[in-house]
Amino acid sequence: MSKRRAVGDFAGVPVISAPGIIQGIDDEMHVQMLGAGQEVGRSCCVIKYKGRTIVCDTGVHPAFSGMAALPFLDELDWSTVDAILITHFHLDHAASLTYVMEKTSFREGNGVVYMSHPTKAVYRFLMSDFVRVSTAGSDDKLFTEEEMLASWSTIIGFDFEQEILLPASNNPESSTSSSSNAAVRFTSFAAGHVLGACMFLIEIAGLRVLYTGDYSTEEDRHLVPAKLPIWEKKPDVMICESTYGQVPTFPRTGMEAQFTTLVSNIIKRGGRVLLPVFALGRAQEILLILDEYWAAHPELHHVPIYYISSLALKCMDVYRQYIHTMSPNVREKFARGINPFDFKAKTSFIRPLERGLAKLNDKGPCVVMASPGFLTNGTSRELLEKWAPDPRNGLIITGYSVEGVMARTIMNEPTEIQALNGGAKISRRLSVDYISFSAHVDYTQNAKFIDEVMPAHLILVHGEANNMSRLRSALKTKFAERKDDIQIYTPRNVETVKIRFRGERMAKALGTLAETTPKAATPLSGLLVSKDFTYTFLAPSDLRDFTGLSTSIILQRQRLTLSVSWELVQWHLQEMYGKIQQGVDKEGLMTMRIMDIVDVKAVGKMDWVVEWVGSVSNDMVADSVIALVLGVDKSPASVKIRLTVVDWSETSMGASSHCSHRHPHAEPITPPPKTTKTLDDAESAGEETSQEKDLPTRLDRLIAFLDSYFGKVELVIPGPKTAGVSSPPLENAAESEKSTEPSVPLEGDTELTPPTTTTTNPEDEEHLAEVETTTAPTLPTQPLVPVIRVHLDDLIADVRVEDLQIICENESFKARVENVVGLAMAVVRPLSEMGAGVFLESVKEVEEGPRGKRVAKVVEGEADNKV
């Protein structure tokens, strides 16, 4: 870890940069084309990642009409869409938007539609014209103008290079996922295709996708070309158009000269020039070229240039309004008071016609620009059928034409064309030329831009299958020569591209956690805060200062009804959790505090309350406490245990050894009046210390465990200066006092009495001790030290209490007893000793205790001597 200062709002605050705190994350992005997959038309790209769904463009196919022209909308649940981003206003990218917004489940979700301000302004006029043209003479209409206007009013506009953060997801399919609210933002950049066209840099949970839409890197008369955005991190995925595939185009200046020469030659031979264009887009560029050429050639001043499109004339105000988004050439003219789009000015040679062919004078040479550009219907199709038989006339296709439309068919120069009304075929004798002014990148420009972006994954869209395949092969060859590892995909419609990412995240430790630099591999504890693609590691106390968030504490209370005594509950809790705190709370209720987390209170004769602050770890402790308390009255140990009045001692009131810190919810509990006693005082008063009381309990549980396993077990304890004497279990020793009846095996709750004792010669005892230390242990008739004697059929094994050593003549039985004792000791130890470095306690010596009880002195044993 490297310690460094934060930036921005956290300047001057200690920060620890910890790469890899969140690492090894597997993420899979899905990209599905509902249109424009190995085709040109009905663009619709679906991006899914981290539970978020973004759709780029919703167009129609120009070669079809009605429902057939729509993208494959049924492949997506539109109610899960977070946002629809429209790149530009062309029909193949935006015309099905109203249908999606008004007639799909998109209305049921919280999705939002975004497009640039110029695109939104033009979109309204363009869609009104689309509704009028598409429904003329047809019942297969997709939507009405009222529906279009209703949806248009909810669209959100934006400016170029404006960063927009999307609201949280409402996706029901991902509502249970922690990633369903992954942050999403996007930024738009000028695409240079038409007015308002943009490409999107989309960022979902830190993963970056560049969706180009239709773009052009070549500067023209009125648009700013697409340029490589300035970014701190390059995109991980690039979704790029491939309209022209591997085909290069002519340089711009040469293309304009060729175009004006063709127009001039047709006019000189007395013909008419038909330029089919779309109402908006390339039409404005061609008008500027012709207006400038006519001004430089006086011999053409008598030849009219007609622009037939009421829609284009309506949108001219939009072009004038957004001149500030156009090229420096246009902005410079506008600054001098010249509006290049004011074609009604006296200095312009363009004659706009708002009422179609009614005022068209085509008796002599002229130039006519008419829509639509694909010659599928409308004014441009009418003029084509009218002028086709005259060889003096000429048709110049100025843009890209998709498969299946008249503009694409006539480029093959057929001798006849089909009349639009389905009548007889019309002879075609006019000349046909193709000069592309479409603002799409050719192979050279596209390859250069891809090379500058250099994404890890490239998805080619918006191109015919052959063009796309050639482009992919050319790019793979180019990147292979440079040994660049780029994955290239060419999906078909409805085919899903699945891209898996495995990355690392970096979290910054701020505030208290950053005051000291931790050593490598040291675990850190705190709150991990995720916001806007960044992770912050904070101490809970710093949460408000750095995030503005506040914390809350949930105090949990569980009421229980138990017909058991306070002392019995206390005994069980101590057996499980070790030392506990006891006292009274501020309301005067008797309280036991377990691990400084859970309070158990007696609120009535049979009413109990368990109280704790809710958290993952605290809930686990509370669950175990509740389960234990509820089982007290059914526990076999509760039946055997002899209840005694518990003195309040310094030991029981001390803090729990498991959690030395104080929790914010923990109210102080006040101990009742008590008399402080030392260990010596307790012994002199005839009272057992906590260690003295703990050993009999643990031995009793060990004996009970062995008894349940083998069926016949007895505790044999020789009296002072005595050998070969058996004794009852320690738990009953206090009750039997100094009874002189012989010992019997442990059988349930049989009442036991102590045996009579015999004394031995001290010299014999010393001799036996010497033999025990110098020879291997054997099974004596009477043991010299306290043992647990285990019987199984005719076999006998003694378990020495002081070190748990097994003494048995049968090795097989000895090994069996060793295994069971090891298991028993793991079970009988209280939870307080588990994993805390506390070893098994062993008996050092047994002697007469206070009031005649047999007391075992206890010391901590070594780890290597214990089971």
pLDDT in tens, 570-597: 888 988 888 889 999 888 899 999 999 9
Residues written for the chain: 867
Tokens of 744: 């019997």
* Structural contact between residues 538 and 511, judged by C-beta atoms closer than 8 angstroms: yes
Q: Could you tell me which residues are beta bridge partners of residue 387? A: none
Closest residue by Cα to residue 585 from 517, 520, 686, 670: 670
Q: Is 694 in contact with 579 (CB distance < 8 Å)?
A: no
Q: Which of 188, 184, 209, 187 is nearest to 118 (CA)?
A: 188
- With tokens 């099974």, the residue in question is 779
Query: Taking the mean position of all CA atoms in its chain, how far away is CA 360?
Result: 62
d(CA 714, CA 402): 98
pLDDT at 104: 96
Strand runs labelled E in 359-422: 366-370, 394-397, 416-417
Q: Which of 279-283, 531-535, 851-855 has the highest mean pLDDT?
A: 279-283
Report the 10 Å Cβ neighbour count for 325: 20
Beta strands 198-204 and 207-211: pairing type?
antiparallel
Whole-number Cα distances in Å, 252 to 340, 445, 529, 607 = 20, 13, 53, 92
285 neighbors 194 (Cβ within 8 angstroms):
no
Token pair recorded at residue 414 = 């057929």
Distance CA 702, CA 846 (A): 18
HSE value, Cβ hemisphere, 13 Å, CA-based, for 693: 17
Q: Write down the mean pLDDT value for the chain.
A: 77
- Would you tell me the crossing angle of helices 465-481 and 443-453 to the nearest 10 degrees? 50
User: How many Å is the Cα radius of gyration of the chain?
Assistant: 46
Place of tokens 């600054």: 335
Cis peptide leading into residue 372 (ω within 30°): yes
Residue 69 corresponds to which tokens in the numbers above?
């022209």
Name the range with the highest mean pLDDT among 200-214, 298-312, 678-692, 698-712: 200-214
DSSP assignment of 243-277: TTTT-----HHHHHHHHHHHHHHHHHTT-EEEEE-
Can you tell me the mean pLDDT for 148-169?
91
pLDDT digits (tens, 9 = 90+) for 733-780: 333 333 333 333 333 333 333 333 444 454 454 444 444 444 444 455
Check: CB of residue 322 under 8 Å from CB of residue 116. Answer: no
Q: Does domain 9-247+441-499 have CATH number 3.60.15.10?
A: yes
Q: What is the per-residue pLDDT for 738?
A: 37
Average pLDDT over residues 777-798: 77
* Alpha carbon distance 164, 339 (integer Å): 33
Q: Look up 767 and say whether it is catalytic.
A: no
- Looking at CATH, the fold of the domain delimited by 252-434 is given as Rossmann fold (3.40.50)
State how far the Cα of 329 lies from the Cα of 336, in Å rounded to an integer.
Answer: 11
**Dihedral sign, CA of 73, 76, 77, 82?**
negative
Whether the pLDDT of residue 152 is over 90: the answer is yes
Catalytic-role residue among 88, 90, 93, 440: 440
Q: Which residues of 160-179 are buried (b: 16+ CB within 10 A; e: fewer)?
A: beeebebeebbbeebeeeeb
Confidence of residue 95 (pLDDT cuts 50, 70, 90): very high
pLDDT recorded at residue 112: 96
Quick check: 171 and 165 in contact, CB under 8 A?
no
Is 80 exceeded by the pLDDT of residue 833? Answer: no
Q: What is the pLDDT of residue 716?
A: 83
Pairing state between β 426-427 and 431-434: unpaired
pLDDT at 686: 42
Taking a C-beta distance cutoff of 8 angstroms, is the pair 777, 786 a contact?
no
Predicted confidence (pLDDT) per residue in 499-539, tens digit: 998 766 778 888 888 888 888 888 888 888 887 667 888 88
Q: Say whether pLDDT at 303 is over 70.
A: yes
CA 477 – CA 467 distance, rounded (Å): 16
Within a 13 Å sphere around the CA of 863, how many CA atoms are in the beta-carbon half? 4
Q: For position 743, what pLDDT does the model report?
A: 36
Domain coordinates in residue numbering, the chain:
9-247+441-499, 252-434, 555-676, 690-865
pLDDT category, 258, cuts 50, 70, 90?
Answer: very high
pLDDT > 70: percent of the chain = 74
| Lowest model confidence (mean pLDDT) among 189-193, 679-683, 702-706 | 679-683
Residue 497 has a CB neighbour count (10 Å cut-off) of: 19
What band does 133 get if pLDDT is binned at 50, 70 and 90? confident
Quick one: tokens of 388? 């086709």
